[in-house]
Each structure stands twice: as structure tokens, then as C-alpha cells.
Structure 1
Amino acid sequence: MLEMKFSGFLYVFAIALCLLKSATCKDALPAKRFKVNLDADPLERWEPVLKNFDVSLLQDVMDTLLKEYVKNKELIALAEVIGKDLDRYFPYPYGDEIRGISNFYNMKLGDLVLGNLAYDLSAWNSNRFKGRACTSIVTVDENGGLIHARNLDYVVGDELRNIIAEIEFHKNGETVFIGTTYVGYVGLLTAAKPNKFSLTGDQRNTGFLWENILAALEKSWPTMLMAREVITNAENYESAIEMLQNAKTIAPMYFIVGGLKPQEGAIVVRDRWGAVNVTRMIDTSHKWFVVETNYDPWKPPPPTDDRRDAAVKSMNEFGQDKMNPDNLYKVMSTPPVFNSETTYTTVMSAANMSLYHTMIRWDHPTEN
């Protein structure tokens, strides 16, 4: 009942929000859920998902990414180097999963490699790529449990909203974790592991492009593949944080982790070679929630992007005694936390997987 009530609320609330903004705007829609069998051949395991999405939708995304990155020859060169030696940079089974998607759609392997490296090619200290790129919140709810929510913002949102899907990853007939992703992307941006932990990633722009290239050539993990490795292998909240601290990745990142117990929420602030800081919920001034956007937690956000302050304000207005999945979704739907680049909103809880719901934000504001 709780699952049906919460899902229904998301849909009704999204429509109401849309009507308040504009009589002509689209409605938010629940993301469709599919199953991926991890016992299947990696070359074939994504086919039950792929057959539900026309290749033209994925090609639109790839074409947009190519137009975005073709201006920078170094970025294209990096993708080409990785594509020529895929198994070296995309450890098994991920290289084969990308090959399988390429074969199914008859798409260029290089295009799919570029799409799977989109984050790693853009996360560095460049004015060109700065901007809103996600909000994540982990909070203690009114009953003392934990809820984790995220908005994923991206500049090519119009194309990406067409290929959003929830994926149940199965092994030995059981669900091992659930994630939200863009079809064709084998890494994970948002995921929860039943009775273990939940995980989201927010972009961190620091350092230089040459550092990303160097990290890639040193066989560091593509950042979101490392997130999938953590979801796959970590067995609890603390072990997830430990793995996120120690791994080497191509790009810097904020990883936000939620556990099972009150105050088990943390932001792992990473550069390319490991963690530089871990901010835990108990370390914050409010103690019952933690918010991350795209700025180091110990620094004030820039005046031009006040999503963190807006989220904190909204959380405090509700208060812990009224915090629940419905109200957390409202926080995530409050501008500027919710903005023209928001592609989807996910609300989840590792302790209660029936709460896992993703709404595709076709109802996004039309202006920043």
C-alpha cells in the first residue's frame, strides 16, 4: 500500500506543480522499470531493456554529446584511445556490456564509449562545463528511518529524458540492487542495495583536463563504473564509504551515501586519486540531513547558484517531524533545486526498497 500511495502522490504532485507553472507544460512521468540478469552473458544481458527503446533516441543523445565535445580535440582523442583498448579501461564485464549494446543497435562502438565517458570528459575546472549538475539529500524521516533523494541535472536534458529507465539487477533470481540510468550507459548514477545502503553521485569540477587524461591512461576507473562496482561489492554503509575513499577514478566526484540507521548519511568528496574529505550527517549544523549540490561542503556556494541554501531552507521549513517521502519530493521540486536541467528525481531507501521511485521531469521549469 505504501508503494502505491507514494507513487500516486508523485504523479499527482507533479501534475499540480506543472499546472501552477504553465497550462502547456508536460507532466512528470514515472520511469519504466526493467530487469537485467547479471547471470546472463554480458554481451546480451541488456537486450530486455534495449528492445524497449528505439535506437534513434540513443543516437540523438550521442550526436548531441559529439557536438558538445568535438570542439575539444583532446577529449575526442581520449575517448578514441580508450575505445581502441576497451577491456583495459572498462574491466570485465563492462566492456562486453558496451559491445553488446553496440551490436544490438548497430551503433558505432566509439560513440557508445564517448557516451559512457561523458562525465569523465566534462568534470574538471572549466567554465564551459560549470553549472547545475545535481542535488542529493539524505535525511532522517519522521519515524527515524533514512530517505535518500536526488535530482540529476544535465545540459542535454531534452534528449536524456527520453532514455531514462529504472533497472532491477538480478542474480540467482534475486534483486541485488536497483538503479536509475540512461539507456546505453552501463555505469550507475543513482542506486540502492536492499538492506545495505544507497548511493548517488554529483559532479565536482576541480583540477585540469590533463589530470583526467593522465588518470585515464593510468587505468583509473571511469567514475560511474566505480560507483557500480561499489554498489555490487560493498556489503554495508561503512564499507561503501571505504571503497569510495580509496578507489582511483578518471574524474573528481561527490558521492552521497545513505545507510540504514539514523544519521547514516555522508558526502565523500573525491579528487581523481581518492577522497579529500568525508562530511557526515552528524558533522552538519542541522544533524538530521545532509545536502550536496556541486560545491565542497565546507565552502559557501557561489551567489549565482544557491541550490544548497534553497534545499536547506526547504528542509528546515518541513522539519524532521514532517519529513517523509512525499515531502522530500516536494523539496526536490522546489526551484532552484528543481530547474530547467533536471532530468529526473529519484526518492529511495535502502531499508524499504518499495519506496524506490523515479520521476522523469518533463514538468521542469522552462527557464533557469
Structure 2
Amino acid sequence: MIAQAELINLEGIRETFISRTMKEQEMISGGGPKSLKIPKFEIDLEEDPYTRWSEPTIYFKEQIIKLHETIISFVPWSIRSIFWMVTKYMEVFSPKTTGLGELNHQLFREFEGVSDITGIPLADVLTANFVYELFAHCTSIVAIDKTDSIVHARNLDYPIYESMRNDTFDIDFVKNGELVFKGAGTGGSTNSYTIMKPGAFAVSINARYHNDLPGLANSLSRWFMESYNPGSLLIYVGEHANTFEEAKDMLMNMPITSICYFTLSGVEIDEGVVITRDRTGAKDLWPINPNSQSDWAIYQTNYDHWENAPERDNKRAATVKEGLVEIGRDKMTVSKILKRILQKPPVLQYDTIFAVTMSAKKNLFKIHAYI
């Protein structure tokens, strides 16, 4: 049984990280963040899952080891032991599964590939990939720009930024040698939390906070019940959905391991929505409205948009709203969202790993990684 002290410990870790991040905002210079050049890799969706992520894993091997050591150091042994047992179960039984279970087996095979290349125990790779979701805090924005095109941008913030600064890469997901969709990745993770399918849609994921260890246990149990973790669902949607409506239906209804927010944009002026997700389905939809004075732009941080902003949001949502009003729809561009909102504290955090600007209509996908 999980000790209460351990449960409090992991909750306190995240709050400590976020608190420290808030206090260190003054360290960000007025000139904005310093950019970092990142590599690009092709991920072949038809390749054996065991070798699918080999190139970025080899490239980032040392950073991945450091990152996993940091993450695992915060996880109580009682939780690690559960993942060890899960690993042993998956090694024996997952090759026999079909349907969604087969897809989770493929994800497990990807973890095996990362483990064998890095030397990190397989159970710890599995643990880290589930724990990723506990610490992330993000900002996503979809807006109608001055040309009446849909644009989409996001920040990905991660409080253990010291271990993730040089861990970002650009992804072309391919099939039969042809580009299917684009994504942003971090070494050691076989998921993507930001994708864009040219001429169709773009999606970003934001964490929706919950009690850490109970949430972690629930996530793991739902994985056994053949649910996707949100990052692997995004890859599935990128591969199989061909329109905004198809992507919306999948993101609203497919079972997931962890509650989250999906921010989805398309190519038409009315194709934008924030989907607030429970594990079994959509809890709320906030659609873009081209005829509205306010909802021509929608945005999401890490709390339900109909609730009052919690202290931990650090006025990020309020700053986004102010920035959108200040720029205005008639002067809106995706570069202004980046420079005047995403790169402005407190939306820009000391632990912001990267931003992405994208538009499925304009075939735009650019990662802005920070030192």
C-alpha cells in the first residue's frame, strides 16, 4: 500500500518546482529567450517499434540517462516496484494481445528499444514515460489571424528543465517514404505532445492536474484496460485522421490514461476547439467562433477554463488574454503570438523548453527551442 508520506512527497515536488519557477521569472531578460538549434529525425510508422526511435535515442543517449535519473529520483520505491511488476507482466502477456492492446504492446516495444540503447532498466523507462505527465505545465493558443487563417501556437514548460534543455528534436513521421505529419519530440519519450498534419489539422496537449500518485496508479490501470496515454493517442490521430472532424472525434472519444486538454485547430476559419478530457470522454468543448468579439481566439493553460485561475497558474491565462486583446484580430499573426505572448513572462517560464508555431492551412510547423 502506498504510504501517505510518499503521496505528499511527490505532490510537494511539483509544487516546489512550480514555486521556484515563479520566483525565478526575474532571471529572464527583457530580450527574450536564447534559441537553440535542434536536429530533425524521421520516424517511420511502418518500422519495427523496437527500432523506430533508435536514431534520436542514440543521439540523445547521455541526456536521456541524465533525465531519467532525475525523474526516477523523485519516485518512491513502492511506485517503482509496481512498474517493475507491470514490466514483467507485459514481457509475458502483451505479445498475445490484439486491438488497442496490440497498440500498447507496440508502445512497450518502443520502451524496450530505448532501454536497450541507453542501459536504463525497462521498468524505469516505463515509469518515466508515465511520470512525464505529472510535472508538465503548458500554454496553447488557437486564433484567427489577419488573413482569416487559423494559426496555432504553444509553449511546453517542464520544471526539471536542467535535464531537458538540450533534449528537443523535430520529427517527420513518414510512411512509404512520404511525410504523414510533423511533431516535436524529447529524447527518451516515444510520444509527441505537439503535431501538425499539413492541410488537415494541428494538435497540442496540456496537462490537466490531478492528485499525483492516485492519478499515476489510475493511469497505469487504464493502460491495462487498453487506453492510450495522450501522447501516443496524438501519434495515432496524426496517422489515421485525415480531417479536423475526424481528429476531433478521436480526441473527444477515445479512452485515455490521463486527464488532459487537447487544443485542436484545422484549416477553415471555424475549425478550432479546446477539448477538456476525462479518461472516458470529453468533459467540455470550447470552440472558436469567428463571429465573436472574444472567442475568435481560444487558449488553454492547466486549469479548466470555466473555473477561477488557481495561484499556480501564475497569471499565465490572464496574460494570454491580455496579449490577444492588445494585438487584435485585424493585426494578428502567429509570429506576434510567439513574440508578444509566448515569449513574454509569465507565459514564458524559466523552465519553458520550447515553443511551437504552426498552421495546417499554411503548412507551417516551427519549433523554437530554448537554451
Structure 1 pair 20/107, CA: closer, same or farther in 2 (3 Å)?
closer
* Residue 131 of structure 2: aligned partner: 118
Matched ranges for 1:4-153 at <5 A: 21=29, 27-53=34-60, 55-70=61-76, 73=78, 75-86=79-90, 87=94, 91-120=104-133, 122=134, 133-153=137-157
Cα distance, 1:22 vs structure 2: 7.4
Is the Cα contact below 8 Å between 1:30 and 1:357 reproduced in 2? no
The one-letter amino acid paired with 2:69 is D
Shift of 1:326: 1.5
| Structure-to-structure mapping, 1:158-307, within 5 angstroms | 158-206=162-210, 208-209=214-215, 211-282=218-289, 286-305=294-313, 306-307=315-316
**Which whole-Å CA distance do the structure 2 matches of 1:214 and 1:109 have between them?**
18
Residues 80 and 124, structure 2, Cα contact 8 Å, conserved in 1: no
Runs of 4+ displaced beyond 6 Å: none
TM-score, normalised relative to structure 1: 0.83
Instruction: Tell me which residue corresponds to 2:369.
Output: 360
User: Matched residues in 1 for 2:204 and 2:75: separation?
Assistant: 25
Distance 1:153 1:21, change over 3 A: same
**Cα-to-partner distance string for 1:109-155 (whole Å, 9 max, x where unaligned):** 122212221245x3xxxxxx6xx700000111111111111101111
Question: What's the TM-score once normalised by structure 2's chain length?
Answer: 0.82
| Conserved? CA contact 2:151–2:334, under 8 Å | yes
The 8 Å contact of residues 104 and 226 in structure 2, kept in 1 or not, is answered as no
Deviation, 1:97, is 2.0
1:303 shift after superposition: 4.3
1:19 Cα deviation from its structure 2 partner: 11
Equivalent residues of 2:63, 2:167 under 8 A apart: yes
Higher helix share: 2
Question: Partner residue of 2:357?
Answer: 347
The answer on whether the counterparts of 2:27 and 2:350 sit within 8 Å (CA) in structure 1 is no
The sequence identity of aligned pairs, in percent, is 27
The residue matched to 1:68 in structure 2 has which SS? coil
Query: Which amino acid is 2:75 matched to?
Result: Y
1:229 Cα deviation after fit = 1.4
Which ranges of structure 1 fall in alignment gaps of 5 or more residues?
1-17, 123-128, 363-368
Q: 1:85 to 1:19 in 2, by over 3 A?
A: closer
- Which is further off, 282-291 or 309-318? 282-291
| 1:89-110 Cα deviation digits (max 9, x unpaired) | 6624322222222222333212
Q: Tell me, what secondary structure is at the counterpart of 1:175?
A: strand
User: Cα–Cα, structure 1 residues 250 and 19, in superposed 2: closer, same or farther, change >3 Å?
Assistant: closer
Structure 2 unaligned spans of 5+: 1-25
